[in-house]
Amino acid sequence: MKVRNIGIIMNGVTGRMGTNQHLIRSIKAIRDQGGVRCGDVVLMPEPVLTGRNADKLQALAERTGVSRYTTDVDAALAEPANEIFFDASGTLQRAGFIEKAVAAKKAIYCEKPTAVETEEALRLARLCEDAGLKNGVVQDKLWLTGIRKFRTLRDQGFLGRILSVRGEFGYWVFTGEDPDQPAQRPSWNYRKEDGGGIIVDMLCHWRYVIDNLFGNVKAVSCIGATHLPKRIDETGREYPCTSDDACYATFECDNGVICQFNSSWTVRVRRDDLLTMQVDGTHGSAIVGLRKCWVQSLGTTPRPTWNPDIEQPINFFAGWQEVPDCTTYDNAFKVQWEEFLKHVALDTPFPWTLREGAKGVQLAELGLKSWEQRQWLSVEELPQ
Ligand SMILES: NC(=O)c1ccc[n+]([C@@H]2O[C@H](COP(=O)([O-])OP(=O)(O)OC[C@H]3O[C@@H](n4cnc5c(N)ncnc54)[C@H](O)[C@@H]3O)[C@@H](O)[C@H]2O)c1
């Protein structure tokens, strides 16, 4: 076995996503399993943690058994063995870091959204393309266990022709105003000036989910809301919420599929999971959760009749069957990381590029515009 070490600069890694999903659940997990085995080669990620706070970096490095960390991103970029630059810092910080990393000729991998405006997201994609650098954006939902199960059913023709999709995403994010109920998301999420807002956050995801699973999005209608006007930040101070905390969007696909997605940080959950999608097709339907998937076929569909004067005789929940686990399902972020490592080291295909990520930013921008203009907007193909 030949070991191929791949140095990875992990920037903004002390944040929520960087620490949990990318370092602990992905890179550390890959190292712990002995790397990514491809034929007679093992790809071994060698992370260097970067950020602004040396104490936090040191604590995280010690906690995860990583030997390298620094507050000097430029020095990390100057090191030829660091082949990949990964960014999980704030959305608005992303462009500056990507520019530096492109100049240093690193392969670029980063969290979504790559920017909050399409032009900027496209500019970053072009920067990588013009420099001939491999690049990718996190599109983790594609590897969620529930979605993988759904994809298999779809490919096997279980649903027949897909007609519509209803997605419900969200949960109650505490404002921090009440005792013993601290906020569970960073405060920048609720400030537009810091790159926050649920439209920017979630429509990026819905773009690649819909494009990959249901049909290419061709039009959007979206209304957002700032239901809660103030929250408490990490320092205990009250701040005004300047961005949307809920949105209600409808997407039309080029194959006629209609997708509706509600996304909200101001709903209480009475459904199977924090994200569920009900997909109805001519021959069957599926409820897709983060890990589980339930199905009902045409042949097992109950025949309801409308009569509010009697107790409902049908137990609708009983008519769904859970799709069993048929393989092991790894963490979604880790699966995509493994694909990116193979892409960098072995030139395998990696279609989830910054250009694809820019499509998500485009949908988010159009969603905001649709809300502002109170109208349906077409989703045009992005220019080269
Ligand atoms: N894929 C997903 O499902 C998903 C989910 C949540 C967030 N995200 C994205 O991940 C990114 C990070 O979000 P988060 O929730 O982890 O936020 P966070 O606030 O927890 O983390 C951001 C980190 O970036 C650091 N940072 C900010 N400015 C920096 C700078 N100039 N230099 C270095 N580090 C800097 C912060 O100190 C913090 O550690 C955002 O772009 C967000 O949109 C993606």
Per-residue H/E/C for 176-213: CCCCCCCCCCCHHHHCHHHCCCHHHHHHHHHHHHHHHH
Please check whether residues 204 and 81 belong to one and the same domain: no
Name which residue sits closest to atom 3 of ligand 1, judged by CA. Answer: 140
State which ligand 1 atom lies nearest to the alpha carbon of 56: 39
Residues 183, 281 within the same domain: yes
In this prediction, residue 353 has a pLDDT band, given cuts at 50, 70 and 90, of very high
Reported as a pLDDT band with limits 50, 70 and 90, residue 141 is very high
Same domain for 175 and 137: no
Specify whether 203 is located in the same domain as 307: yes
Q: Supply the pLDDT for residue 140.
A: 98
Q: What's the total number of domains in the chain?
A: 2
* Ligand 1 midpoint to CA 92 (Å): 9
- Strands 217-225 and 246-253, bridge-based pairing: antiparallel
- The domain that holds 23 is classified in CATH as 3.40.50.720
Q: How confident is the model at residue 349 (pLDDT cuts 50, 70, 90)?
A: very high
| Residue 256's CATH number | 3.30.360.10
Indicate which residue's Cα is closest to atom 18 of ligand 1: 15
> Quick check: 246 and 267 in contact, CB under 8 A?
yes
293 touches 149 (CB < 8 A): yes
> Tokens 């569920």 map to which residue?
276
Quote the radius of gyration of the chain (alpha carbons, Å).
22
Percent of the chain with pLDDT over 70: 100
- Map tokens 């963490």 to a residue: 331
Alpha carbon of 366 to ligand 1 centroid (Å): 23
Helix then strand then coil, in percent of the chain rounded to 5, is 35, 25, 35
Nearest-angstrom CA–CA distance, 365 and 72: 33
Same domain for 20 and 126?
Answer: yes
Ligand 1 atom at shortest distance from the alpha carbon of 140: 1
Question: pTM of the prediction?
Answer: 0.97
Query: What pLDDT is attached to residue 266?
Result: 98
β-strand pairing of 246-253 with 258-264: antiparallel
Which atom of ligand 1 lies nearest, measured to the CA of 96? 31
Q: 284 - beta bridge partners?
A: 297
The 10s digit of each residue's pLDDT in 107-128 is: 999 999 999 999 999 999 999 9
379 in a structural domain: no
Sign of CA dihedral 296, 298, 300, 304: positive
> How many Å lie between the centroid of ligand 1 and the Cα of residue 112?
10
Task: Say what the pLDDT of residue 378 is.
Answer: 98
89 CA from centroid of ligand 1 (Å):
4
Average pLDDT, the chain: 98
Task: Determine the pLDDT at residue 377.
Answer: 98
Residues 284 and 215 in one domain: yes
Which pLDDT belongs to residue 259?
99
Residue 240 parent element (H or E): strand 238-240
Residues 136 and 208 in one domain: no
Give me ligand 1 centre to Cα 180, in Å: 25
Do 290 and 227 share a domain, yes or no?
A: yes
Contact 270, 232 (CB under 8 A): no
Cα distance between residue 220 and residue 252, in whole Å = 6
The ligand 1 atom at the shortest distance from the C-alpha of residue 138 is: 1
Q: Residues lining ligand 1, CB < 6 A?
A: 11-12, 14-18, 51-52, 88-91, 93, 111-113, 138, 140, 186, 188, 201
Give a yes or no: residue 382 inside a domain: no
- pLDDT recorded at residue 345: 98
Model confidence at 354, in pLDDT bands (50, 70, 90)?
Answer: very high
How far apart (Å, rounded) are the C-alpha atoms in residues 151 and 156? Answer: 8
Residues 88 and 55 in one domain: yes
The verdict on 269 and 310 lying in the same domain is yes
Tens-digit pLDDT profile for residues 247-259:
999 999 999 999 9
CA-wise closest residue to 188 among 177, 199, 178, 197 = 197
The residue whose CA is least distant from atom 39 of ligand 1 is: 15
Q: How far apart are CA 352 and CA 138, in angstroms?
A: 8
Place of tokens 């949908």: 363
In a domain, 157, yes or no: yes
Nearest CA to ligand 1 atom 15: 16
Same domain assignment for residues 149 and 118: no
Cα–Cα distance, 285 to 275 (Å, whole number):
16
Residue to substitute in 9, 10, 16 for testing ligand 1 pocket (most ligand atoms within 8 angstroms of CB):
16
Asked if residue 250 belongs to a domain, the reply is yes
pLDDT tens digit sequence for 9-66: 999 999 999 999 999 999 999 999 999 999 999 999 999 999 999 999 999 999 999 9
Query: 234 lies in a domain?
Result: yes
pLDDT band of 340, cuts 50, 70, 90: very high
Would residue 383 count as lying in a domain? no
User: Which residues sit opposite 173 in a β-bridge?
Assistant: none
- Specify whether 168 is located in the same domain as 82: no
For 291-325, how does the pLDDT look when each residue is reduced to its tens digit (9 = 90+)? 999 999 999 999 999 999 999 999 999 999 999 99
Q: Kindly give the residue spans of alpha helices, DSSP state H, lying in 192-288.
A: 198-213
Span from the CA of 316 to the centroid of ligand 1 (angstroms): 41
Does residue 55 form part of some domain? yes
DSSP 382: P
Instruction: Look at residue 58 in the predicted model and tell me its pLDDT.
Output: 98
Cα(124)–Cα(255) distance, integer angstroms: 30
Q: Quick check: 50 and 71 in contact, CB under 8 A? A: yes
Range of the domain at 245: 142-329+362-373
**Does some domain include residue 306?**
yes
Read off the pLDDT of residues 157-175 as tens digits, 9 standing for 90 and up.
Answer: 999 999 999 999 999 999 9
